[in-house]
Every structure is written in structure tokens, then in C-alpha cells.
Amino acid sequence: MTFQILAYVTCGAACLLGFRFLFAGGGVLREWGLEPTAGALILFRRLGVIYLGLALAFFLGRNAAPSDFRSAMCLVVAGAVALLACLGLFEFLARRASAGIFRSIAGEAVLSAAFLWLWWAGP
């Protein structure tokens, strides 16, 4: 897998998440077994905008040549997404989220592994 392909995949996933969090955050919360409160929906809308910014960053950087910065981005994204997967698992095990969160955990684990593999493989 090349960085360009992974950038497109990340851009697409971040767009889907961004728009879903922005316009349908209540559905995500219900899937996770959580009550969609006003505070949670505010945070989800703000998170949606961050995901859209991340999507734009990967779309604009999809043709970046191998560099220390690109390698650092791969490592940082791999670590951040792995932490999201771990946090989702922790919340499930603590019984604060339902089994619906496993779709998110699986996607985050796969994305993290892809960025880690790309970083490990080098230019």
C-alpha cells in the first residue's frame, strides 16, 4: 500500500466520520449505548469539524514525497488512532459503551496498523 492510497482511504473515512458526527451524532451515540445529551452533541459537532480538517489535510498531502515529516505524520496518526481503539475497548470493558463501539474499534485498529506498516516500510 502506498501513502497516496492510504491518504485517500483516510480522507474518505474522515469525511464520513466528520459529516456523521456533525449532522448525525445522536445516532453514533445511540449505537454506542449512550444518551445523546446536548453536551455530547456539541462535542460531536466540534469533533466532526476536526475530522473534516483531517480529511482535507490528507487530501492535500496525498502526493507528498517521502520525507521525515511524512514519516512522522504516519507514526503520529498510527499512535493516535491506536489510542482511540484502546480507549473504545476500555469504555466497553468498563460498561460505559455497548458492543456497538466495536465497529469503531475495528476500523481504528486497521487504520492504525496500516499507518504503522507504512511508517515501518519507509520510503
- Residues 51-65: pLDDT tens digits? 999 999 999 999 999
Per residue in 62-119, pLDDT tens? 999 999 999 999 999 999 999 999 999 999 999 999 999 999 999 999 999 999 999 9
Between CA 115 and CA 70 the distance in angstroms is 11
**Containing structural domain, residue 68:** 3-121
Residue 22 pLDDT exceeds 90: yes
Q: Judge contact between 81 and 118, C-beta under 8 A.
A: no
Between CA 106 and CA 72 the distance in angstroms is 23
- How many domains does the chain contain in total? 1
Chain-centre distance for alpha carbon 122 = 22
Q: What is the pLDDT of residue 1?
A: 83
The residue-averaged pLDDT of 24-52 equals 96
Closest by Cα among 101, 93, 80 to 33: 101
Closest by Cα among 47, 46, 62, 38 to 104: 47
Q: What is the pLDDT of residue 123?
A: 66
pLDDT higher for 35 or 1? 35
Between CA 66 and CA 69 the distance in angstroms is 8
Total-model pTM? 0.88
The angle at the Cα of 116, spanning 25 to 96, to the nearest 5 degrees, equals: 35
Closest by Cα among 43, 39, 83 to 91: 83
